[in-house]
Structure 1
């Protein structure tokens, strides 16, 4: 008897969505959203005022961040990353793929974000800061007009030590939350799945974070974190699958990106389309960024999510409309990938329902291609990323190969276009491990 998957036989799912057959075979695929909607700020689940509020909160914390993390001094305590032109990598991509990439190719360098060295420094750190602010305000220890640099004082650390924070993570979210929580004085536990890299666990332990490891995947780590906080009213669980605050922390990024694009004389309008490629795990980071980009640029920006061939959870969830009711395991896909931050078998329903309607498409990439791209990016631009961060790099090739660009834009529009690959992590990777990554890609 065939096992039912959300009420249907596997064969029925394949008949309804023929692409599933290739997805099951872990082949690289491109899915273009046939029901994509135009973004409407009025009907959006998240309002612009909420994103502005998040940005203002991060600005209030800038003095504390600058004093706690001197590497942020140049940016005045703002946790931000560079926007880089990678023209040599563009030439290498075209040579590798035999596909023409028209327009400029830029890299949003979230691998270089201070404190946590990944995109998770945005959402993860933001949510912890919001918790800290709420607690301190409720006790009358601060007001929003104060210099938040005072949160470095021992009295605040002692106060926050009465509370705990927990999170389930495959790696980078745990790093960002563990580091900032420990700095503030919280008791913090990171529940980590078997996919998490050992060096990330070791780094957290050195920062004074309690790390609990599980032989299963991301879902179990999240469940154990929920369970921990369910038993303790002074524990805050940071829920990567459902958190609105994580989402808002990520959504601040495009507001800052807008200024960077203007500084680089990059126009975004009907004649100058913008294409953005975002590596996707459970979905919070790319979801918050894509949503905010659509709020800023509407139909002048097209957003694509990128997943490993062995962990296409958001693709299955959004394509079928079943979101977190469906998992890669339901189709016999093993969810094993070296792209640890993307090793998620079941996507966020909140992100899928909030952002899915506005996504232009989702594509998948093989692990070996991630390593090959990693090696070639270092050779051409001397930029070091971790494997998962390269998922976005294959986007311009995949979408060009699919024929979507030429079917939807004129040659002139494409020549005036800009592609942004979102680099999600890499600067904290130990040298010996990065060297092994480069060797894997040099084939």
Structure 2
């Protein structure tokens, strides 16, 4: 179908192609649906958590910033009451229930949600190679991975990835620390400071004039030409997906420690920024496994890059690009500047996801400034899309726990954050 036929078939697309902030409720959601996949289930999530536990002694020594969490890559859960009050004032609504921020912007090593999936896949790859060469046993202390002989072995292998920024950062930092050769194909919207940081860490950065989808395609082609290369596929990787899903087990523990029970009378509503879909999809799947019908997950996308919304609404998934609808895929939210969604994730989300809403660049700037003013927390533009979830997803009257997932921001240079803040303040005053 061409653009006009798609809009006629799916009238809700009219607002989307008009670049208006919109909300789509998923008509296929079925809380009783169970994904039938031998590789993705609760046992696989628990196995991923066990692998991260095995690597904890190594990470604790290799990255001193993980000492406080004993080598685990985890972030705090924080109530943001002052921001909630301002959100209610700006949108003239009352949000029933408490609003929390899941602070993945301060995750150790790479300062974004990609530390969950990206780093996990690198660790999984390293473990498989070391076990294959019989230089490591699963019941050993993984501190030995820091030995030079092991790094020399891993240096024979190359990791290749396509990225808009944060995934490349997580894989570049972790891969180089372990000894791998790392090549990151960066799309045209990747921030210069992220490319510079990757180069500082020793990764090879290949810049493309096209968008994320082409960067991924080129990275895949490169890896296929070398049997010692491994391509980390943000669109299709089940390993990445499971790394993200572990977050659900961790969140359950944090809620338990805070004395918060998730049940029919106190459901959990979660708002997740979405690019190609791997990170938010993995987390949403994990949350569904842990909390069942008592969790409601929503994806947040830029008005100029609503790839998952378009893919799921039309059920074309990765067979449609936002540019097919005349949408330019240009947004300040570099981590979400993706034109074609993961078909794998979209299909997994069909019975799980509650809905998707879109946020304009101007709204992102304003949310960024408000969060700094009210809570002293600085997020990158892509991450603040989660903050307006209760309003945009129309859940303000739902009693329970509202949770905005902060996907990145702590590594943004001060000058860039200050510029974004000033843009937000200027927009607030107009």
TM-score by length of 2: 0.97
Kept after mapping to 2: 8 A contact 1:195/1:217: yes
1:27-69 superposed Cα distances (whole Å, 9 cap, x missing partner) = 0000001121114447466211100000000000001111110
1:277-326 superposed Cα distances (whole Å, 9 cap, x missing partner) = 00000000000000010111111110000000000000000111110001
> How many pairs does the alignment contain?
425
Report what 1:18 is aligned to: 11
In structure 1, distance between residues paired with 2:28 and 2:45: 26
1:151-200 superposed Cα distances (whole Å, 9 cap, x missing partner) = 10100110001000000000000000000000000000000011000000
Gaps of 5+ in 2: none
1:202-237 superposed Cα distances (whole Å, 9 cap, x missing partner) = 000000010010011001110111011110000000
Post-superposition shift, 1:357?
Answer: 2.1
Kept after mapping to 1: 8 A contact 2:94/2:396: no
1:30 to 2:23 alignment: yes
1:368-395 superposed Cα distances (whole Å, 9 cap, x missing partner) = 1011001000101100100000011111
In structure 1, distance between residues paired with 2:32 and 2:335: 28
Report what 1:335 is aligned to: 329
Kept after mapping to 2: 8 A contact 1:341/1:388: yes
1:237-261 superposed Cα distances (whole Å, 9 cap, x missing partner) = 0000000000000000010000101
Kept after mapping to 1: 8 A contact 2:35/2:348: no
Report what 1:64 is aligned to: 58
Post-superposition shift, 1:11?
Answer: 2.6
In structure 2, distance between residues paired with 1:58 and 1:80: 11
Post-superposition shift, 1:128?
Answer: 0.5
In structure 2, distance between residues paired with 1:440 and 1:267: 39
Q: Which of 416, 424, 427 pairs up with 1:441?
A: 424
Report what 2:315 is aligned to: 321
Q: Which of 135, 145, 162 pairs up with 1:141?
A: 135
Post-superposition shift, 1:118?
Answer: 0.1
Report what 1:159 is aligned to: 153
In structure 2, distance between residues paired with 1:389 and 1:39: 30
Post-superposition shift, 1:17?
Answer: 1.2
1:187 to 2:181 alignment: yes
Post-superposition shift, 1:405?
Answer: 5.9
The within-5 A match list for 1:416-427 is 417-427=400-410
Q: Which of 121, 124, 141 pairs up with 2:115?
A: 121
Post-superposition shift, 1:273?
Answer: 1.0
Q: Which of 368, 387, 395 pairs up with 2:389?
A: 395
Kept after mapping to 2: 8 A contact 1:109/1:423: yes
Post-superposition shift, 1:356?
Answer: 2.5
Post-superposition shift, 1:99?
Answer: 1.5
Kept after mapping to 1: 8 A contact 2:93/2:396: no
Kept after mapping to 1: 8 A contact 2:162/2:212: yes
The within-5 A match list for 1:43-54 is 43=36, 46-54=40-48
Kept after mapping to 2: 8 A contact 1:39/1:295: no
SS of 1:442 mapped into structure 2: helix
Post-superposition shift, 1:125?
Answer: 0.3
Post-superposition shift, 1:262?
Answer: 1.1
In structure 2, distance between residues paired with 1:348 and 1:85: 32
CA shift in 2, pair 1:251/1:118, >3 Å: same
Kept after mapping to 1: 8 A contact 2:29/2:353: yes
Kept after mapping to 2: 8 A contact 1:193/1:220: yes
In structure 1, distance between residues paired with 2:210 and 2:37: 35
Kept after mapping to 2: 8 A contact 1:41/1:295: no
Kept after mapping to 2: 8 A contact 1:41/1:47: no
TM-score by length of 1: 0.94
Report what 2:367 is aligned to: 373
Report what 1:223 is aligned to: 217
Tell me the C-alpha RMSD between the 2 structures. Answer: 1.1
CA shift in 2, pair 1:105/1:51, >3 Å: same
